Amino acid sequence: MRRRSAAHSDLITRVNVTPIIDVALVLVTILLVTAPMLTAADLPVNLPQARTREADDERNVSITRTVGGELAVDRQHVVWADLRPTLQSVLARAGNQDVLVVVRADSGVPYGEIRALLAEARAAGAQRLAVATRQRIEAQP
C-alpha cells in the first residue's frame, strides 16, 4: 500500500459558501437600513400634530348626525337648511372663536355625507374640525 505524502495536497472540490453568505447578509442589512431613507422625499415639511383624547378636555361644539338623517348642533335639533346659520351663531358667541367642531356621525352614515358636514362646518367659520370615533378596547391577557 502506498501512503500519501504531505507534499501532495488534496484538491479542493467543493466551494466554500460561508464567505458568500456573509457578504449577502451584509448587503441585505445595508438595504434594510437605507430603504426607508429612500422612500421619503428630501423636502422640508412641517407635519401636523394629531390629538386624540385631548379633545374631550376642551370646549367643543358637536354636530351629530344619525343614520335616520336627524341633525343636531350641540343639543339643538336642526334641519339641513338651518345647519350653517345655527353653527355660525354658535361660533359667533364669546369664547367660541377657536373652538373645536366635532362631527359625531353614526357608523352607518355614508362618508360623503360626513364630508358634506365637514364642508358646512368650514363654510360656517369653523377653524378646527374633528371626526369623533369610538376607541377599540382590546382584551387584556
Task: Identify the CATH number of the domain in which residue 99 sits.
Answer: 3.30.420.270
Q: Which of 123, 97, 86 is nearest to 115 (CA)?
A: 123
Q: Give dist(CA 60, CA 131) in Å, integer.
A: 12
Q: Which of 102, 115, 15 is nearest to 52 (CA)?
A: 102
Indicate whether 8 belongs to any domain.
Answer: no
Indicate whether 79 belongs to any domain.
Answer: yes
- The stretches of the chain forming alpha helices (DSSP H) are 18-39, 80-92, 111-123
Indicate whether 30 belongs to any domain.
Answer: no
If you average pLDDT over residues 105-110, what whole number do you get?
Answer: 84
Examine the pLDDT at 122 and tell me if it is beyond 60. yes
pLDDT per residue as tens digits for the range 82-97: 999 999 998 888 877 7
Q: Give dist(CA 83, CA 120) in Å, integer.
A: 8
Indicate whether 78 belongs to any domain.
Answer: yes
- Cβ-based neighbour number of residue 129 at 10 Å: 15
pLDDT per residue as tens digits for the range 35-64: 776 655 555 655 555 555 555 556 788 888
Q: List CB contacts of 62: < 8 A, sequence separation 6 or more.
A: 72, 73, 74, 101, 102, 103, 104, 132
Residue 63 in grid coordinates: 354636530
Indicate whether 93 belongs to any domain.
Answer: yes
Indicate whether 18 belongs to any domain.
Answer: no
Structural domain range at position 79 = 53-131
Indicate whether 41 belongs to any domain.
Answer: no
Q: Give dist(CA 23, CA 109) in Å, integer.
A: 56
The whole-model pTM stands at 0.57
Between strands 76-78 and 71-73, the pairing is: antiparallel
Count of domains observed in the chain = 1
Q: Which residues of 83-97 are buried (b: 16+ CB within 10 A; e: fewer)?
A: bbebbeebbeeeebe
Indicate whether 98 belongs to any domain.
Answer: yes
